[in-house]
Amino acid sequence: NKYFFYFGYMVRRKGLGFALEGFRKFIERHPRLSYIFILAGGIIKGQEGAYEEIKMLVRKKNLSNRVIFKGFIEEKDQDELYRDAYAVIIPAIISMGSSGPLYHAESYGKCVMTSKVGHFLEEIDDLKTGILVVNSNWDKAFEYAVSHPKIVRNIEMNVRAKARLRSPYRTAGLYLKLYKS
């Protein structure tokens, strides 16, 4: 099965409810498509209720057969999940700075679909290095990605090129040049 992949904390500020509701609408309109949504990652102490809410939302929206919770995963499983994902999902209600999950997904050369908020507006060149999504339109974003596999592949090529520009070696060289000037 093809799948969308989320890797990160299961907390309210991530906006997983928006992505899950959009995925539900997408599946309802396209029941023959066999896409699933895999969520992996942990729970922050004090945010256990958010994780329970996410699981309850999945049950309430009848997504239990299309959403898989992996919890904490080993690095080899993480590598495989990223490698084989159709696209990586990074929803957000708010964003407060550079995104570890975004850089992580980009290091795997994946097409990232992320909420059109905060720093993502600066980090993602829409339809070139990712897909920016209005939180109320996740269903349309899933449809767009599935309907345009060539654009998803082009985004992945652009993301791999972008990741090469951010290599530690290149960054060190830029700092060295700066210090010498």
Q: How is residue 148 annotated by DSSP?
A: -
HEC-encoded secondary structure of 59-89: HHCCCCCCEEEEECCCHHHHHHHHHHCCEEE
Residues 161 and 17: their CA atoms lie apart, in Å, by 32
Structure tokens at 138: 């996740």
In degrees, rounded to 5, the angle at the alpha carbon of residue 147 between the alpha carbons of residues 113 and 89 is 15
User: pLDDT band at 98, cuts 50/70/90?
Assistant: low
% of the chain exceeding 70 in pLDDT: 98
Task: Indicate the pTM of the whole model.
Answer: 0.90
The mean pLDDT value of the chain amounts to 92
**Higher pLDDT residue, 173 or 83?**
83
Q: Which pLDDT score, from 0 to 100, does residue 11 have?
A: 80
Residue 59 contacts residue 26 (beta carbons within 8 Å):
no
Q: What is the DSSP string of 95-146?
A: --S--HHHHHHHHTT--EEEES-TTHHHH--BTTTBEEE-GGGHHHHHHHHH
